[in-house]
């Protein structure tokens, strides 16, 4: 079980075993960060790497509710989907998540994502912890460029927060 530090100057990313933990402080109040992460209106504007736009096909933020985010028509990338397991607004989300490729069928259990939003008095610390089904699945995801995608995604979220705040 090797620990890998994968972040940059603004986003901490640590992979260890089957766990990936990402942490960033956003210059926005917690309620705004919550809204940007849970609102279909906003998620498509920051989900994915620079130069992409995503379509939020479903975002039913309640326990048992489903979510699905896909690349815009003609854009590269794959869809991701899952189910919300726990919702404590504006403090904590727990959901499943996995690639959603029509016709490919399930390849195993989804990852479980726990996202917490800590109020820092006008700023927000977001901790996004992902437990992958196995260390091999996490390593595969990292080899596909997940680190770069997450860092760019969080930069895009920070930019969005600056414009809607």
Residue 1 forms part of a structural domain: no
Residue 12 forms part of a structural domain: no
Per-residue pLDDT tens digits for 30-73: 999 999 999 999 999 999 888 888 999 999 999 999 999 999 88
Residue 52 forms part of a structural domain: yes
* 12 in Cβ contact with 119 (< 8 Å): no
- Name the pTM for this structure: 0.92
| Domain housing 127 | 17-102+109-164
Per-residue pLDDT tens digits for 89-117: 999 999 999 988 766 555 678 999 999 99
Query: Which residues 6+ apart lie within 8 Å of 59 measured at CB?
Result: 38, 39, 40, 43, 67
The total number of structural domains that make up the chain: 1
Residue 7 forms part of a structural domain: no
- CATH number, position 87: 3.30.530.20
Residue 8 forms part of a structural domain: no
């Amino acid at each position: 079980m090797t620990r890998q530090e994968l972040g940059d100057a603004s986003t901490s990313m640590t992979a260890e075993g089957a766990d990936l933990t990402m942490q960033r402080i956003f210059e926005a109040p917690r309620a705004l960060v919550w809204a940007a992460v849970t609102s279909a209106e906003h998620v498509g504007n920051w989900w994915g790497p620079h130069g992409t736009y995503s379509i939020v096909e479903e975002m039913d933020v309640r326990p048992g509710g489903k979510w699905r985010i896909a690349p815009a028509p003609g854009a590269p990338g794959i869809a991701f989907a899952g189910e919300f397991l726990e919702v404590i607004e504006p403090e904590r989300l727990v959901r499943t998540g996995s690639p959603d490729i029509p016709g490919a069928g399930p390849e195993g259990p989804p990852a479980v994502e726990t996202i917490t939003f800590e109020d820092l008095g006008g700023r927000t610390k977001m901790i996004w912890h992902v437990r992958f089904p196995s260390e091999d699945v996490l390593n595969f995801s990292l080899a596909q460029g997940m680190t770069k995608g997450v860092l760019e995604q969080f930069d895009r979220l920070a930019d969005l927060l600056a414009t809607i705040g």
